[in-house]
Structure 1
C-alpha cells in the first residue's frame, strides 16, 4: 500500500484533533474518545482513529433511529436535518415530508402549531410547549438548543410526548399510590342464588390449597371481590394480597413493575433497586386481573415464574424464591385467545387448575333483591340519608338485564341515593323507559355501523390486523376481534 502524502496526513490529523477537542467535555463521547490517541503520529494510528469515528457515527445514528422517544433535529437556520422512526410513528407523518424543509415554512403552512424549533432558535434556551402537528393534537414538545465548542448554537433537538400517554401513566401512578396507602377493604359477597352459593362453596373448598385459580366472567360480576374473599378467608390472610391489573399498567412499565429491578438496571432506576409487585406478594396471594392483556413476551416470564416460583429482577441474575398463591381473572374466553395466538396455551393450562365461573347478574336474579338492599344501606349510611324504593323501581331493578352486572347496579343505586331528596325513589314510567332503551339501541347500532365501515376500509387497504391496529391507534387483539366480527365471520 502506498504511503499517504505527508500534507494530506497532516490535514486529516488536524481534523481528527479538532474533532477530539470538540468532544472533550461531552460525557456521552467518553467511550469514543477513550479509544483514540489524542494526536495520531502514524498512518496506522490515524486510520484507527478514523475507524473509531466511523463506527461511532454508525452506532449513534442507529441508536437515535431506534429510540422509543421521538427526535426532530434542525440546524441554526431552521432546516430539518434528522427525524427518527418514533417521530414518524407519533405524528403520523413521513420523514420525507419534513427533511430539508425549513421549520419557518412548516410553521407557516400550519403543520406545526406552534413550531418549537423556531421558538428555541429565537430564545436560545430550552422551550416546552403544547403542540399540534397536523391532525395529531395535544403533544408536550421540548426543544433544546445545542451549542458547539465555541458556544455557537448550531442545532436544535426536539422531543415530543403525547399527553394521553402521560395522562394514562399519571392515572396509573396515582392509582398505585392510592392502593399502597389505603388498606384493602373487605368485600362482602352476597349469595342467595343457587349459582352463587355453588361459587362460594367451591371457593371455601379450595381456599387453603396452593392450586392456581382462574376466575372468569363478564366485566362487573365481582371477580376481584371473589379473589379477595378467597385470600381473606384462607390461611394466607395474615399476609397481603397484591392485585395487579394487567390491562392498567402501561406496557413499557409492566416488566419492571411486576418483576422489580436491580440497582442501576436502567437510567433513573433506584440506586438500591426495587422489588416488583410479585415479590411483594411473598407469603400471601398474587391476583393477576385481566391476565389476557399481558403481552406475549411477559407471558413467557410469568409462565417461568409459575413453574419455578422464582423470579429474576430486571437487570439482575439472582433468582429470588417467592411463596405466593396465584389467582388470575379474565373477562375473555382464554381458550379462544389461545386459538388466536394472543395467549400462550402453556400459560393458560398452568393457571386454569381450578376454574371458577361467575354467572352474569341477569342469570341469578335471586341475588338482585339482597344486593340492591345492601347497596342502598351502604350509600344511605355514606350520604347520611334515609329512603325507600317504591314498587315500580324494584320491578325495574328485578327485570333489567344489568349488562354491566353488579358494578352497574351499584352505580345505579348510588345515583338514586345521591340525586333524590324526597325520601322516596320514583321510577320512570314504562313508556319513558321504553323510549330511553330505544334511543340507546339506535345509538349503539349507529356507532357499530360507523365502526364496521372504518374497520372494513382499513383492512381492505392494509390487509393486516397489525397495521390496522397501528393506524387506528388500538391494540392488535382489538383489531383482530373487529376484523373477525365484521369481515371474516360475514364471509364464512
Structure 2
C-alpha cells in the first residue's frame, strides 16, 4: 500500500473516531435517553443511564432484541417495536420496571432505496411531571370536596337546620350524607318539625341543585285529580282535558328532585303506579300507552307510621320497602330542648329584619319559651316569635307577656277550693293551681319538676292540658 493511500486511510479513520467520540459525548450528555436499533429491533447504541432507568446494565440491553426486553417486563411497551411495525414516526408513554415514566419519540431511518435501516428512540423522563400532575389532581379533588362540604354547611345554616342536640347532630350528618347520592329518602317526623325544609336542603346540597325542585302535598290534592297531577295526561284522556294534554309533576321535575309530602295519603291504586315509576324510572300518562323515561330524585315525607299502615293493609309493603331506602327521623322539639334558644335567636333575628324592629327577649322570656311544650314543633315556635315581634309594643319582650298573651295562662291568686266538691275534682284543682303558681315563679318545667319532685315530662303534659282548657 502506498504511503499516500495509507495516510488517507489513517486520516479517514481519525475522522470516524472523532465522529464516534462526538456522537458518544452527545449521547451521554443529553438529558434524554437515546437508543438506536437495527431493522430487527436489536439495540446497537444507547446513551448512559440504562441501570437507573431500566434496572439493567448497558450490556444487558446492547445486542438484545427490543421484543425480548418487552417480554421480560423491563419496559411495558417498546417504541422500537412500534416503529419497526408502522415504519413511521410515533409518540407514546412508556413505563419501566424501575417505576420511571418516559415520553418516547420513535423515529424510523431508511436507506437510499426506502428500506427501514434503523429505529431511533428519544426518551424524556417525565416521572416527576406525572407525579406532580397526580398530586395536582388529588389537590383539585380535595378542593372540590371542601367546596361541596362548605356549600352543604352553608345550606344547613342558612335554612336554620341547626342544633346542639346529639340526636339532631346525627340527623344533620345523615342529611349531608344522603344529599350526595340519588337514592330515595323517607323523611319521618311530627307535623312542624321541618320535613319540607330538610327536603329542599337535601336538593340544594345535591348535584341536582341547578335543576327543578317540585314539592307536591299528596294530601292536598283530591284522589280523582292526583293521578293526572302526578303523571300527566294525554290528548283526549277525559272530558275537559286540554287538547294538547298536560305534563305531570314527574315530567316537570325531570333531571331534578320531586318531593312527595304526606306520602301516606296516596291511595292504594296509585301506589302501584308510583312503585313502577321508582323502579323503572319511567311513567305512563293517564290515557297514554307510551312509556316516558324520567331522571329524577325522589324524596318523600310523612307524619304517620307507614309500617303500621302496611300491617293494616292501607299501604303497599313493596312500596314501603322501596321508599325506606334512606330513612331520616326528625325529632320533635320537645326531644331537642337545648336547640330552642338557638332557633329562637334565629327567628327573632329573621322577623326583626322583616318588620324593621329591634325586639329582644329577657332571660326569663328565653326560659319561658324553652320550657314550653311545643306541640306544633318548629313551625309553632316560628309563628310564636313572629307574633311576639308584631304584637309586643315594648323593646324587651317579658316572660309575663308571653304566657299571658301567647299561652293564655293566668295565675290564680291563691290555692284554694271553694265549696264542697268530690275529692277527685278537688285534687285536680289544687294540682292545677299549684302548677300555675310554680310556672309563674320558676318558668321552666325542669325547675318546676325539681321543686314539686315529679318528672319533667309529667309537668310538661299537665301544663299543656291546662293551656288547652283555658282556650
TM-score by length of 2: 0.53
Q: Distance in 2 between matches of 1:382 and 1:421?
A: 16
Cα gap change, 1:205/1:440 in structure 2, threshold over 3 Å: closer, same or farther?
Answer: closer
Tell me the matched-pair count: 262
Cα gap change, 1:218/1:275 in structure 2, threshold over 3 Å: closer, same or farther?
Answer: same
Correspondence for 2:268: 296
TM superposition outliers: structure 1 runs of 4+ over 6 Å: 436-440
Equivalence map 1:407-486=2 (5 Å): 407-428=379-400, 432=410, 441=465
Contact 2:282 2:293 in 1 (8 A): yes
CA RMSD of aligned residues (A): 2.3
Correspondence for 2:142: none
Contact 1:388 1:425 in 2 (8 A): yes
Q: Distance in 1 between matches of 2:321 and 2:189?
A: 18
SS of the counterpart of 2:163?
coil
How many angstroms does 1:270 deviate by? 1.1
Among 233, 240, 248, the alignment partner of 1:261 is 233
Unpaired stretches in structure 1, ≥5 consecutive residues: 1-185, 448-492
Correspondence for 1:241: 213
Q: Distance in 1 between matches of 2:327 and 2:359?
A: 40
Among 158, 181, 195, the alignment partner of 1:209 is 181
Contact 2:160 2:346 in 1 (8 A): no
SS of the counterpart of 2:301?
strand
Q: Distance in 2 between matches of 1:196 and 1:245?
A: 25
Q: Distance in 1 between matches of 2:369 and 2:467?
A: 23
Contact 2:373 2:464 in 1 (8 A): no
How many angstroms does 1:443 deviate by? 8.6
SS of the counterpart of 1:221?
coil
Moved more, 297-306 or 347-356: 297-306
SS of the counterpart of 1:252?
helix
Correspondence for 2:366: 394
Correspondence for 2:246: 274
Structure exhibiting the larger radius of gyration computed from Cα positions:
2
Post-superposition Cα deviations, 1:53-101, rounded to whole Å, max 9, x if no partner, equal xxxxxxxxxxxxxxxxxxxxxxxxxxxxxxxxxxxxxxxxxxxxxxxxx
Contact 1:187 1:228 in 2 (8 A): no
Equivalence map 1:70-109=2 (5 Å): none
How many angstroms does 1:428 deviate by? 2.5
Q: Distance in 2 between matches of 1:440 and 1:236?
A: 43
Q: Distance in 1 between matches of 2:202 and 2:243?
A: 37
Q: Distance in 2 between matches of 1:446 and 1:344?
A: 42
How many angstroms does 1:304 deviate by? 1.2
Contact 2:216 2:260 in 1 (8 A): yes
Q: Distance in 2 between matches of 1:417 and 1:438?
A: 28
How many angstroms does 1:194 deviate by? 1.9
Correspondence for 2:289: 317
Unpaired stretches in structure 2, ≥5 consecutive residues: 1-157, 404-408, 412-434, 440-460
Among 348, 361, 365, the alignment partner of 2:320 is 348
